[in-house]
Amino acid sequence: MKEIKCECGHVNPVGTVLCEACGRPIEGNQHLDGNNEKRLLNMRYDGTARRSQTYNKSIIDKIWSFFSSVKVGVWLIVLALVASMVGTIFPQEVYIPANAPSRDPAVYYEDQYGIFGLIFYQLGFHNLYTSWWYLVIIALIGISLVICSLDRFVPLFKALRHQKAQKHISFLSRQRLYSETDVASNEEIETVKNNLKKQRYNIKEENGHILAEKGRFSRWGPYVNHIGLIIILVAAILRVTPFFYMEEYVWVREGQKPIVIPGTDGQYYIENKDFILETHSKDDKRFEAAIAEEGMIPSNFQTDIVIYQTSDKTVPGADAELDPILEGSVRMNDPAKFDKYTVYQSGYQLNEFTSMTFRIHETADTEEAALDTFTVDLTAPEAEYNLDSGFRVVVDKYYPDYYLDSNGIPASETNFPRNPAYVFLIYPPNSDTAEVSFVGIGRNIDATGENIYKLGIEDFEMHDVSGLTVKYDRSLPLFGIGAAIFMIGVIQGMYWQHRRIWIHPSENGILMAGHTNKNWFGIKKDIEKVIKGTNIKMVEDQQELDEK
Amino acid sequence: MDILSVSSGALYSAFVLYLIATLFFGATVRDKRTDKKQHTVSAKIAITLTIIGFAAQIVYFITRWFASGHAPVSNMFEFMTFLGMCTVFAFIIIYFYYKLSFLGLFALPISMIIIAYASMFPTDVAPLVPSLQSHWLYIHVTTVALGQGILFISFVAGLMYLIKEIDQTVKSKKTMWLEIVIYILFIFIGFIGITSAFGMMNYNATFEYPSGGETIKSEYKLPAIAGPNEGTLITENVMEPWFETPNWLQGQDAGRKFNTVIWSLITGTILFVIVRLIIRKRVGAAIQPLFKNVKADLLDEIGYRSVTIGFPVFTLGGLIFAAIWAQIAWGRFWGWDPKEVWALVTWFFYAAYLHLRLSRGWHGEKSAWLAVIGFGIIMFNLIVVNLVLAGLHSYA
Ligand code: HEM
């Protein structure tokens, strides 16, 4: 492999654009940074040799060049951006409303949104963000990030570390900020040097050539932020594994015996002592208008829970022995934690029936005097109730959440006792022929119209149900670290700039050039301050002149 | 006096101050050719008025906080107002760095449009629902608004760049697109104009319409061109709707919002046509001469700088703080809710902008177009996502 020797004697690696030592443009390599016939030098990466621009033979070279191109990177970003937008046109599958006529995505999208919904569904946009091709785009961005960063960081780091103060005239005169001062005294140069120091520039001198530099560390900002992004991508991949992430949803009823928490290998149980829903007071003067407009506004969702751990003493096969380990409340925005798990208040269902007590009376009796009563425990309904008075009641049908389906046939919408209804067979004392009675909330239907006995609801108890999410997510610290590193990197790269000013002694005066990676206004201000009180000429912005 | 009326009075004063300040910034334009001293005087007055206006807005913010017991960033009115305030803040900072008074001539009206737009939403102080009862609400929302306010300055600079640089002597695609952007600004002004006009008349027409098995009421503050889907008008002696809102428009009060859009389009178009008839050339061409003395390079630089400053702030507020809050409230830091996705889209977009800036070809005009598109994306998230794509955040 041929190395390139510059006129100044320095030997540069293949692919160098600007001599590492004196900055002279290397003949034949200018096309690499698009420097052809341009007046100004392209200073990106200080004209160092980058692998991607230099080698293009083997397949690996080609892949490397492909992924290190910012153009490719931007295309990937744009692709992810457009795909993300399309995914929001209709709701994602998880956001299909609970009360939709059909929650089956195959039906829902076409039903709701017609032909576009059907297309949306068939192209898989209803689960876009976990679809393989979306993840492939994200993964490609990750690969691109790693390769482009390595491609640039290494040579740039070396070049800036070894840079010389003495640069060739052709390097200075082709910088964007440049001036020639024909006469400059030593005192004036001294003043400039002092002013530069006052502005916190680091000064490097070689044979009267000066390089003043500040904010070099900001050049590493992009690489730092890319590392942060890579950590976030890694965290997202790890999160797919059960070691890092577990999530379960559990409905817990008030007053129910502790139930095992799914996802904890039977180790933990949970009990719902009380579910509390509070609303903002109507009487609060401040909010009167808003509440009048919108109706009651909830102020608190809370579940008072007890978490139990199964005791070591538990005999296999027998009921678990439980030790309470946590008693507390879970509120929206205020989850509870135990062991590695976090419990979130996620949903609720008010007023499920716990038990119902029925009274048997004679249909003809207007007083409805009870002949006997019985109680159906809805957490454990029995098939048959034998009463002391000799009545026998058989539960023929039970609809926990009664409604009439589209064919007018009784059915249960859910398995939860939200609106219980029954078909009872009532056997009077010493009788083998039953009367059929349909009883529900606000309903009491006598199928034949000839029943001698009738059932009435004497009493009932209700409870609330709390929906809790139980989960652990061990990837969180990794996401946190990634995000923090990203922020450090962006701030480092954006809020500071790498500014350099070169001073090159000429016959009686000096040549001065300046370069910054961003914020040209800022470096011009710096230079104005630096030359104050001297006759040194202000640099001219050659790019501006170019445009005119 | 009632503290809430102090608050709204302060907001109103801020608005008026911004308006007067804009006029003074306008005066710096004409003076440029005549009298340099006068020019600096009016610039000084203008920026002073801006700062006083900003202070008034802070008074609004604090008093409203005091009155409601929570930081006023919890509904659409409060958020948009705060966003307008952040835009002014970003402008003040940029002004003191670059001393470019021209910028005020555009930055302040944009802020005013945002604030006026805000005041079209219900302004009642509302209590917080449980999911909003978190300090992260304030942290997240204020940071997002600040980031967006700063990013808006890049739009302002970009728009000015385009008006200045695009060749108006010939008709081209560019002049057409620029004119479309200006036309869209007219629609906003039309929206504010028509809503205020009917607001002053206290216009009201109530509809009932079925939604998910229930019957819901919708109060129209503008005459109904488009009624709610399957709705019936119950107010008497008002205009009957001409047609129904299509049912694919989702969310609460979709019909009313759709109707407002129609009205804004009509009013904005009429305004635009009137202006065009009076000036007899493209609006862009009419404004262009004002910018003779502004350096295009400087506008480009300010636009880019605002993105470099705004991008980290937006990332912090719109993605990181948002994720932390979502984790605490819902147990998931990211849920692909439309609003979240659009924050991600915004972020991707400005990341692409920054990467494109790395190559020289994307300076100047192209970059100015990107800044305009970026503004469009943010506004889309604030308006369309809230109104059309229902999700967790659509509190309006
Ligand atoms: C969502 C993904 C990405 C984000 C948020 C991101 C963010 C950034 C940021 C903020 C900068 C600093 C820009 C500036 O200082 O003006 C930067 C620079 C850069 N990024 Fe990315 N980046 C992403 C993906 C990529 C990809 C896929 C590539 C691959 C080609 C890439 C290549 C670069 C390069 C080459 C630089 C410039 C480094 C320099 O000139 O010093 N980035 N990136």
pLDDT digit string (tens) for B178-227?
A: 999 999 989 988 888 888 888 788 888 888 887 666 777 777 888 888 88
Q: How confident is the model at residue B392 (pLDDT cuts 50, 70, 90)?
A: very low
pLDDT surpassing 80 at residue A208:
yes
Please list, in sequence order, all residues whose beta carbon lies within 8 angstroms of the beta carbon of residue B50, skipping any fewer than 6 positions away: B17, B18, B21, B88, B91, B92, B95, B104, B108
Taking only the tens place, the pLDDT of each residue in B124-136 is: 787 777 777 788 8
User: What's this model's pTM, rounded to 2 decimal places?
Assistant: 0.86
Last residue of a domain, one of B237, B265, B281: B281
ipTM for this prediction? 0.88
Residue B394 resides in a domain: no
A73 lines ligand 1 (CB under 6 A): yes
A76 lines ligand 1 (CB under 6 A): yes
Our CA-based measurement puts residue A19 at a distance from the nearest CA of chain B, in whole angstroms, of 21
Element (H, E) at B108: helix B102-118
Q: How many Cβ atoms from other residues are within 10 Å of residue A7's Cβ? A: 11
Residue B370 resides in a domain: yes
A150 lines ligand 1 (CB under 6 A): no
Q: Which atom of ligand 1 is nearest to the CA of B315?
A: 5
pLDDT surpassing 50 at residue A548:
no
pLDDT surpassing 70 at residue B34:
no
Overall number of domains in chain B: 2
CA of A485 to the centre of ligand 1 (A): 14
Mean residue pLDDT of chain A comes to 83
How many Å apart are CA A201 and CA A194, to the nearest integer? 10
Our CA-based measurement puts residue B352 at a distance from the nearest CA of chain A, in whole angstroms, of 6
| Residue numbers in B near A346 (CB within 8 A) | 330-331
CA distances from B262 to A117, B194, B195, B257, B390 (A): 25, 11, 12, 9, 20
| Greatest alpha-carbon span in chain B | 70
Q: Are residues B105 and B135 in the same domain?
A: yes
Do residue B127 and residue A541 have CB atoms under 8 angstroms apart?
Answer: no
- Helical segments of A59-131, H only: 59-68, 70-86, 105-122
Q: Are residues B216 and B274 in the same domain?
A: yes
pLDDT surpassing 90 at residue A498:
yes
Q: Are residues B17 and B103 in the same domain?
A: yes
Give the N- to C-terminal CA distance of chain A in Å, as an integer.
Answer: 44
Taking only the tens place, the pLDDT of each residue in A321-369 is: 788 888 888 888 888 888 889 888 888 888 888 888 988 888 888 888 8
Query: Is A538's Cβ below 8 Å from some Cβ in B?
Result: no
Do residue A74 and residue B331 have CB atoms under 8 angstroms apart?
Answer: no
pLDDT surpassing 80 at residue B73:
yes
Residue B102 resides in a domain: yes
pLDDT in the model for residue B393: 43
Query: Is A88's Cβ below 8 Å from some Cβ in B?
Result: yes
Q: How confident is the model at residue B250 (pLDDT cuts 50, 70, 90)?
A: low
Query: Is A335's Cβ below 8 Å from some Cβ in B?
Result: yes
Taking only the tens place, the pLDDT of each residue in B134-155 is: 888 889 999 999 999 999 999 9
CB contacts under 8 A, A 207-226 vs B, are none
Instruction: Report the residue from B331, B335, B359 with minimal CB separation from A471.
Output: B331
Taking only the tens place, the pLDDT of each residue in A260-281 is: 888 888 888 888 888 888 888 7
CB contacts under 8 A, B 305-334 vs A, are 305, 308-309, 311-312, 315-316, 319-320, 323, 327-331, 333
Our CA-based measurement puts residue B346 at a distance from the nearest CA of chain A, in whole angstroms, of 8
Q: How confident is the model at residue B63 (pLDDT cuts 50, 70, 90)?
A: very high
pLDDT in the model for residue B396: 31
Residue B214 resides in a domain: yes
Taking only the tens place, the pLDDT of each residue in A76-119 is: 988 888 888 787 778 777 777 666 666 778 888 887 777 888 88
Residue B115 phi, psi dihedral angles, 5° rounding:
-65, -40
Tokens of B24: 């003074």
Q: Which of B384, B306, B324, B382 has the alpha carbon at shortest distance from B140?
A: B324
User: How many percent of chain B have pLDDT more than 90?
Assistant: 36
The region that residue A161 occupies, defined by phi over 0 for left and psi between -120 and 50 for alpha, beta otherwise, is alpha
When mean pLDDT is compared over A172-176, A309-313, A525-529, the highest value belongs to: A525-529
How many Å apart are CA A175 and CA A39, to the nearest integer? 9
Q: Which atom of ligand 1 is nearest to the CA of A72?
A: 30
Please list, in sequence order, all residues whose beta carbon lies within 8 angstroms of the beta carbon of residue B9, skipping any fewer than 6 positions away: none
Q: Are residues B100 and B14 in the same domain?
A: yes
| Residue numbers in B near A78 (CB within 8 A) | 348, 352
How many Å apart are CA B54 and CA B82, to the nearest integer? 11
Higher pLDDT, B112 or B255: B112
Residue A369 phi, psi dihedral angles, 5° rounding:
-65, 135
CA of A488 to the centre of ligand 1 (A): 14
Tokens of B9: 């009075």
Q: Are residues B149 and B33 in the same domain?
A: yes
Mutate to test the interface with B, among A288, A301, A494, A543 (most CBs of B within 10 A): A494
CA distances from A503 to A17, A196, A200, A513 (A): 22, 12, 16, 7
Higher pLDDT, A313 or A466: A466
Q: How many Cβ atoms from other residues are within 10 Å of residue A124's Cβ? A: 14
Report residue B14 CA to chain centroid gap: 16
The region of weakest confidence among B14-23, B104-113, B219-228 is: B219-228
Instruction: Report the residue from B98, B312, B331 with minimal CB separation from A487.
Output: B312
CA of A221 to the centre of ligand 1 (A): 9
Last residue of a domain, one of B265, B281, B297: B281
Mean residue pLDDT of chain B comes to 85
A144 lines ligand 1 (CB under 6 A): yes
CA of A108 to the centre of ligand 1 (A): 40
How does DSSP classify residue A88? T
Taking only the tens place, the pLDDT of each residue in B259-300 is: 888 888 999 999 999 999 998 888 888 888 888 778 888 899
Residue B392 resides in a domain: no
Whether the CA torsion A234, A240, A244, A250 is positive or negative: it is positive
How many Å apart are CA B195 and CA B386, to the nearest integer? 19
CB contacts under 8 A, A 459-478 vs B, are 469, 471, 476
Burial, B46: exposed, middle or buried (Cβ in 10 Å; 0-12, 13-18, 19+)? buried
Query: Is B131's Cβ below 8 Å from some Cβ in A?
Result: yes
CA of A27 to the centre of ligand 1 (A): 29
Q: Are residues B247 and B358 in the same domain?
A: no
Q: Are residues B159 and B191 in the same domain?
A: no
Q: What is the average pLDDT across A236-242?
A: 80
Do residue A469 and residue B331 have CB atoms under 8 angstroms apart?
Answer: yes
Q: Are residues B110 and B141 in the same domain?
A: yes
How many CB pairs below 8 Å do chains A and B form together? 151
Whether the CA torsion A39, A44, A48, A54 is positive or negative: it is negative
The CB-side HSE value for A65 (13 A sphere, CA atoms) comes to: 13
Angle at B211 between CA B205 and CA B216, to 5 degrees: 35
Query: Is A85's Cβ below 8 Å from some Cβ in B?
Result: yes
Q: How confident is the model at residue B55 (pLDDT cuts 50, 70, 90)?
A: very high
How many Å apart are CA B107 and CA A118, to the nearest integer? 44
CA distances from A417 to A351, A383, A400 (A): 9, 16, 4
Do residue B352 and residue A297 have CB atoms under 8 angstroms apart?
Answer: no
Q: Are residues B150 and B179 in the same domain?
A: no
Query: Is A92's Cβ below 8 Å from some Cβ in B?
Result: yes
Tokens of A56: 């293009």
How many Å apart are CA B219 and CA A57, to the nearest integer? 69
How does DSSP classify residue A25? B
Q: Which of B325, B337, B121, B126 has the alpha carbon at shortest distance from A299?
A: B126
Please list, in sequence order, all residues whose beta carbon lies within 8 angstroms of the beta carbon of residue B252, skipping any fewer than 6 positions away: B216, B390, B394
pLDDT surpassing 60 at residue B389:
no
- Per the structure, the complete domain to which residue B372 belongs is given by 3-168+282-387
CB contacts under 8 A, A 353-412 vs B, are none
The region that residue A34 occupies, defined by phi over 0 for left and psi between -120 and 50 for alpha, beta otherwise, is left
Taking only the tens place, the pLDDT of each residue in A406-449 is: 777 888 877 788 888 888 888 988 888 888 888 888 778 777 77
pLDDT surpassing 70 at residue B36:
no
The CB-side HSE value for A518 (13 A sphere, CA atoms) comes to: 23
Q: Which atom of ligand 1 is nearest to the CA of A71?
A: 30
pLDDT surpassing 70 at residue A38:
no
Angle at A204 between CA A199 and CA A208, to 5 degrees: 110
Query: Is A544's Cβ below 8 Å from some Cβ in B?
Result: yes
Q: What is the average pLDDT across A251-258?
A: 84
Please list, in sequence order, all residues whose beta carbon lies within 8 angstroms of the beta carbon of residue A476, skipping any fewer than 6 positions away: B327, B333
Do residue A77 and residue B348 have CB atoms under 8 angstroms apart?
Answer: yes
Q: Are residues B146 and B173 in the same domain?
A: no
Q: Are residues B146 and B190 in the same domain?
A: no
A228 lines ligand 1 (CB under 6 A): no
- Identity at A521, one-letter amino acid code: F
Contact A390, A429 (CB under 8 A): yes
| Residue numbers in B near A34 (CB within 8 A) | 360
pLDDT in the model for residue B38: 66
User: How many percent of chain B have pLDDT more than 70?
Assistant: 92
Q: How confident is the model at residue B391 (pLDDT cuts 50, 70, 90)?
A: very low
Q: What is the average pLDDT across A464-492?
A: 91
Our CA-based measurement puts residue A274 at a distance from the nearest CA of chain B, in whole angstroms, of 17
How does DSSP classify residue A319? P
Q: Whats the size of chain A, residue-wise?
A: 548
A426 lines ligand 1 (CB under 6 A): no
| Residue numbers in B near A301 (CB within 8 A) | 130
pLDDT surpassing 60 at residue A547:
no
Do residue A344 and residue B358 have CB atoms under 8 angstroms apart?
Answer: no
| Residue numbers in A near B326 (CB within 8 A) | none
pLDDT surpassing 50 at residue A219:
yes
Please list, in sequence order, all residues whose beta carbon lies within 8 angstroms of the beta carbon of residue A338, skipping any fewer than 6 positions away: A268, A307, A325, A326
Query: Is B93's Cβ below 8 Å from some Cβ in A?
Result: no
Residue B23 resides in a domain: yes
Contact A264, A241 (CB under 8 A): no
Last residue of a domain, one of B281, B302, B330: B281
Instruction: Report the residue from B124, B130, B329 with minimal CB separation from A290.
Output: B124
Query: Is A69's Cβ below 8 Å from some Cβ in B?
Result: no
Do residue B323 and residue A74 have CB atoms under 8 angstroms apart?
Answer: no
pLDDT in the model for residue B322: 93
A70 lines ligand 1 (CB under 6 A): yes
pLDDT in the model for residue A201: 92
pLDDT in the model for residue B212: 61
How many Å apart are CA B166 and CA A379, to the nearest integer? 75
* Residue whose CA lies nearest to ligand 1 atom number 19: A222
Mutate to test the interface with A, among B355, B362, B365 (most CBs of A within 10 A): B355
Residue B302 phi, psi dihedral angles, 5° rounding:
-65, -40
Angle at B229 between CA B223 and CA B231, to 5 degrees: 65
Contact A186, A505 (CB under 8 A): no
Q: Whats the size of chain B, residue-wise?
A: 396
pLDDT surpassing 90 at residue A488:
yes
Whether the CA torsion B16, B76, B371, A44 is positive or negative: it is positive
Q: Are residues B222 and B142 in the same domain?
A: no
Instruction: Tell me which residue has tokens 């008497």.
Output: B236
Give the N- to C-terminal CA distance of chain B in Å, as an integer.
Answer: 29
A229 lines ligand 1 (CB under 6 A): yes
Residue B393 resides in a domain: no
Residue B126 resides in a domain: yes
